[in-house]
Amino acid sequence: MIEERVRVWDLPTRLFHWSLVLLVPALWATHEWHRLDLHILLGETMLGLILFRLIWGLIGSSTARFSGFVRGPGAVLRYLRAPRTAFGHNPIGALSVVAMLLVLAIQVGLGLFASDEDALDVGPLSHNISYDSARTLAERHETFFYILLGLIALHVAAILYYRFAKREDLVTPMVTGRREPTLPGEAMAPAPAWRFWVAAALAIAITLAIANFL
């Protein structure tokens, strides 16, 4: 008998995930439409989200913590030799999460120092470097976006592979937060609400400091 669905992803983790789904195309659109003022604002929002996810990865619920799913090369090799359903992120999924956060952090970091040709719409940290350096980083910022697109394409391909080849739905649990446990008694250990407010406050404070005071 299949056990009742149990919680696997907390609300902050799910909101972070779907916020990325909305923010990445919005950032692309504002750049293409030359609305760099909105692009910078959305980029600062992305910065705040990444900071929150990094903090939440340290103090959040059990399936959101990096210590709960990031494994070494040995675990990845064992999984590749004998794949099995994981309750949260499997070792390959963990690599995907780490890679996505790293690429997003680099992309946002480049944008913080970037400047347009007229030096009118600039990243909040661009005043700390020369105009030429800011323009160079702006070009790197645009180029690096294609690396992000490639990673997103791999992510979507993996979701489709699991859905149609392995008959494992990864999307619905990220919407509802629930799935069948892979082992009896398995469930997410939620973090207390105060940790969310601490993570959110720290992420907002750091983002505001970077955007306005550094």
Torsion of CA 10, 11, 15, 18, to 10 degrees: 60
CA neighbours closer than 13 Å in the CB half-sphere of residue 166: 13
Residue 158, pLDDT > 80, answer yes
Q: Give the CATH number of domain 6-212.
A: 1.20.950
pTM, whole model, 2 decimals?
0.93
Q: Residue 75: what pLDDT? A: 81
Helix, strand, coil abundance in the chain, percent, nearest 5: 65, 5, 30
Contact 69, 9 (CB under 8 A): no
Distance of alpha carbon 39 from alpha carbon 49, whole angstroms = 15
Q: Residue 73: what pLDDT? A: 86
Q: So where are the chain's domains?
A: 6-212
**77 against 127, higher pLDDT:** 127
The position carrying tokens 């099995």 is 84
Provide mean pLDDT across the span 140-162: 94
Provide mean pLDDT across the span 118-146: 94
Q: Residue 3: what pLDDT? A: 54
Provide mean pLDDT across the span 39-58: 97
Residue 1, pLDDT > 70, answer no
Distance of alpha carbon 112 from alpha carbon 114, whole angstroms = 6
- Give the closest residue to 152 by CA, choosing from 17, 43, 40: 17
The tens digit of pLDDT for each residue in 78-130 reads 887 877 777 888 888 899 999 999 999 999 999 999 999 888 889 999 999 99
Contact 71, 92 (CB under 8 A): no
What Rg, from alpha-carbon coordinates, does the chain have? 19
State the pLDDT confidence band at 139, using cuts at 50, 70 and 90.
Answer: very high
Residue 2, pLDDT > 50, answer no
- Give the closest residue to 177 by CA, choosing from 7, 5, 60, 4: 7
Mean pLDDT, the chain, whole residue set: 92
Provide mean pLDDT across the span 28-41: 95
Name the percent of the chain lying above pLDDT 90: 74
Residue 98 parent element (H or E) = helix 91-112
Q: Tell me the sheet residues that pair with 7.
A: 178
Q: Residue 187: what pLDDT? A: 86
Residue 175, pLDDT > 90, answer yes
The tens digit of pLDDT for each residue in 188-204 reads 999 999 999 999 999 99
